[in-house]
A and B are shown apart, each in its own frame.
Chain A
Amino acid sequence: MEQRLANSFTMTVNEKQFIQTALVSDIRVDGRRPFDYRNLTIRFGSEDGSSEVQLGQTQVIAFVTGQLVPPYRDRPNEGSFAIFTEFSPMADPSFEPGRPGDLAIELGRIVDRGLRESRAVDTESLCVVAGKLVWSIRIDLHIIDNGGNLVDAANIAALAALSTFRRPECTFGGEDGQELIVHPPDVMEPLPLIIHHFPVAVTFGFIGKENIVVIDPTYHEEAVMGGSLTATLNTNGDVCAIQKAGGDGVLQSVIMQCLRIASVKAGDITSKIKIAVESYNTQRSLKKIKRHNPSYAASKEESRQVNPETKSTRQSCDINSSASTHVATNIGSPEEQSETLKDEVKPKHKKRKKPTSNANSS
C-alpha cells in the first residue's frame, strides 16, 4: 500500500549503488550485456498507419493520419508532416496529463529531426495541386508504458506506422475536369508514402565516473545514469542526428565507439522493421481477396449471402485477419453457452496460411 501511495518513482541509494557496482563487472540488472538491445516486438493495428512497438517493458503506439491542406507559402510544392507526442499518464505515475513536459518535447524533436532533416519522408510526392492543396501527415506517438529508452521505441513506432500508412488516391474529375475527387479506399487502392531510408535512433547511457556505456537503458538505469547520447543513423552509414543534451562529459573516443556500435544496431533494427512491414503487407493483400465462404470480418467489401445451409458451419469458419486475433462465435440467443474462455474458436481445418499473431493476447 505504501508503494502505491507514492506518486512518483524514487530509487533507494542501495539500488543505485548496486546498479553501478554491477556495471563495473559488465553485468546489467536485467541480465543483458552492455551493448544488447531488449526484445523488440512490432505489431500493427487493423487500420493502415497504426503501429504498436514493445521494446522490453516500454510500449509505444503510433498513429499516422493525413489530410488535405493548403501548403506553406515558402514551399508550395511540398507536403508537410508533424509529430505530436503524448506522454500518457498511464505510462508512468509521474506523468501528468495536460501540456507536454520537457521530456515529451525533447522526444518529439529528436524523432522529428531524424525524419525531417534527413529527408526520409518524401514530401514532394505529397503535393496534389501546387500552391493550393498538399497532404499534411500527422504522426501521433502515445507512450503507454515507460520501461526506459522511450526515444528509440517511439522512433521505431513512427517508422513502422509511416511504412504502413496509405493515403487516398486523388484524381481530377467533375464537369470541367478541375474538381478534385478524393477516392475512398474501396473504390481506388490508396497509395503508400515514399520513404527513402529509415533513420533509426539508438540511445546510450553513461553511468558512473568511469564512463561506463550501456545501450538501451531501462528506467532503473535511466534514474542512475549521468548523461545520455542518442544517435540517429540509417543503414547507408549516414548520421542523421545526434542528441547529447548536457549530462556528464564524455571522451571523444567513447563517442566514436558509440557511433560505430549504433550503425550496427541500426542495421538490425531496420531489418526487423522491414520484416514486420512485409508480413503486414502480405496479410493486407490476403484480406483483399474476396472469399466464397461467408465469414465474419473477412472483408468488408463482400456482400453477404446468408444461406440456411451454411449457418451451421459458421462456428467452424476460418477467419483471416490482420495482427489482432479475431474470432467469431454465433451468440444468437442468451441461452447458448458455446464459447470458450477467450471467445476463441479453434478452426477445425486450416486451408489458408493463418497469420502468426497469437502473441497479441498475452
Chain B
Amino acid sequence: MFILFKLVIYENAILLLKSMEVDRLDGRTANQRRPVVCTRGVLHRAHGSASWAQGETKVIAAVYGPKAGTKKNENPEKACIEVIWKPKTGQSGKQEREFEMVLKKTLQSICLLNVHPNTTTSIIVQVVNDDGALLPCAINAACSALVDAGIPLKHLAVAICCCMAESGHVFLDPSKLEEQTTKAFVYLVFPSSTMSVLPQGSEVKEHGIITSVTHGVMAVDDYFSCVKMGRAAAAELSDYVRNSLKLKAGNDLSKAG
C-alpha cells in the first residue's frame, strides 16, 4: 500500500513539472533564448563589422565612419547616424524603411554625438536569414559593429523580443513560426549593464527602456510582464556581449585612427 501511495505522489510530481514546463516547438522553456553567436571583424573593407546570429536568424552589420559632412536636414553641430537596411531578397520597401528609422533612433541615443560634430557614420545592415526576432538581432549586430569600429558610445544597447501566447504565457526570443502564431510580440531594447568605477554601495541606476516596438494587441499587465522578463534576459545577454566584445580589444590596431 505504501509503495502504491509513493508511486501516486511521484506521478503527480511529474505531471506538475510537465505542466510548469510549457512546451515550445523547439523544446526551449518559456524563459530560454536561442544560442547567440557573435563575431566581430568579419569584413575587411568596412571600418567596423559584426555578425550576430540568434538561432537561425543571422544579420551582418558594417560601419563606415565618421565621414565628413552631414546630410541636408541634419544638425551640423552633432554627428549624424545613417542606417541602410538591406533585405535578403527583393527591393527595399516600407518594412525596411521602418526598421531603418527604429535602428537610427536607437543608435542615436547610445552614440556620443558631440565627439565628432558635422560627420556622418553609416551603418549598413544585411539580413542573411530571418527566423524571428529580426530587429533585435540587427540592433545587437549594429552595436557590436559600432564597438568594432571604435565609434564612441555611452553604453551598449541590448535587444530582445518577447511574445504573448494565446494561453497567456510569455515566451522569450520567439522563432518566426511563434511570432506569426502568437497574438502579440514586443521588441525591447535596454541599455547594457554598467560596470562603473563608483564605489560599492552606491546607487545603481535604474534601467530605462531605450526602444519598445509592439505588434499586436496585449493587455497592460501582459506588457509589463514582458518588460520584466525582457529586462532580466537583457541583463544576462549584456554580460555575454561584454565578455565577447572584450576578447578582441587590443588585437587589431590597423583600423584605429
Contact = CB atoms under 8 A, between A and B. Distances in A.
Contact of B43 (A138, A144, A333, A337): A144
Contacts of B62: 90, 144
B165 to A, nearest CB: 16
Given A97-B84, A300-B26, A361 B37 contact: yes
Contacts of B47: 4
A120 to B, nearest CB: 21
A206 interface: no
Given A5-B68, A65-B89, A334-B233, A342 B38 contact: yes
Nearest to B237: A331
Interface string B63-100: 01111100000000000000010101110000000000
A296 B236 contact: no
B45 A93 contact: yes
Interface stretch (B15-23, B101-109, B213-221): B15-23
B124 A145 contact: no
A14 interface: no
Interface string B25-36: 111110111011
A174 interface: no
Contacts of B67: 4-5, 7, 93
Interface residues of B, number: 58
B45 A146 contact: yes
A88 B86 contact: yes
Nearest to A295: B27
B149 to A, nearest CB: 9
B140 interface: no
A45 B58 contact: yes
B29 A332 contact: yes
Interface stretch (B1-9, B194-202, B240-248): B240-248
Given A63-B89, A93-B45, A142 B36 contact: no
A65 B90 CA distance: 10
Contact of A326 (B35, B46, B128, B129): B35
A327 B35 contact: yes
A146 B90 CA distance: 22
A252 to B, nearest CB: 36
A194 to B, nearest CB: 22
Interface string A296-313: 110010001010100000
A317 B106 CA distance: 37
B86 A308 contact: no
Given A328-B35, A332-B31, A4 B65 contact: yes
Contact of A90 (B14, B36, B124, B240): B124
Contact of B53 (A142, A324, A339): A324
Place the interface of chain A in its size category: 35 or more
A90 B61 CA distance: 8
B39 A361 contact: yes
Nearest to B61: A90
B247 to A, nearest CB: 7
A78 interface: no
B240 A333 contact: no
A329 interface: yes
Contacts of B240: 339, 343
A304 B27 contact: yes
A47 B129 CA distance: 8
A217 interface: no
Nearest to B64: A93
B243 A341 contact: yes
Contacts of B122: 89
Nearest to A139: B89
Contacts of A362: 39, 41-42
Contacts of B53: 324
A95 to B, nearest CB: 9
B126 A90 contact: yes
Given A4-B67, A90-B46, A296 B26 contact: yes
A345 B41 CA distance: 23
Contacts of B60: 90, 144
Nearest to B233: A334
Contact of A88 (B23, B31, B124, B243): B124
A138 B32 CA distance: 36
Contact of B32 (A1, A59, A330): A330
Contacts of A279: none
A360 B68 CA distance: 34
B119 to A, nearest CB: 8
B257 interface: yes
A296 B14 CA distance: 22
Given A1-B257, A4-B66, A90-B124, A145 B86 contact: no
6 contacts: A5-B67, A5-B68, A63-B88, A297-B55, A329-B35, A342-B244
Q: Which 8 A-B pairs have the closest CB atoms?
A: A90-B62, A90-B124, A334-B232, A304-B27, A57-B44, A145-B43, A5-B68, A140-B89
Given A324-B53, A326-B35, A360-B37, 18 more contacts: A4-B66, A45-B58, A50-B129, A84-B89, A89-B84, A89-B124, A90-B64, A140-B88, A144-B60, A144-B126, A145-B44, A296-B28, A306-B21, A306-B27, A332-B31, A334-B232, A360-B39, A362-B39
Interface of A: 1, 3-5, 7, 45-47, 50, 52, 57, 59, 61, 63, 65, 84, 86, 88-93, 97, 138, 140, 142, 144-147, 219, 294-297, 300, 304, 306, 308, 324-334, 337, 339, 341-343, 360-362
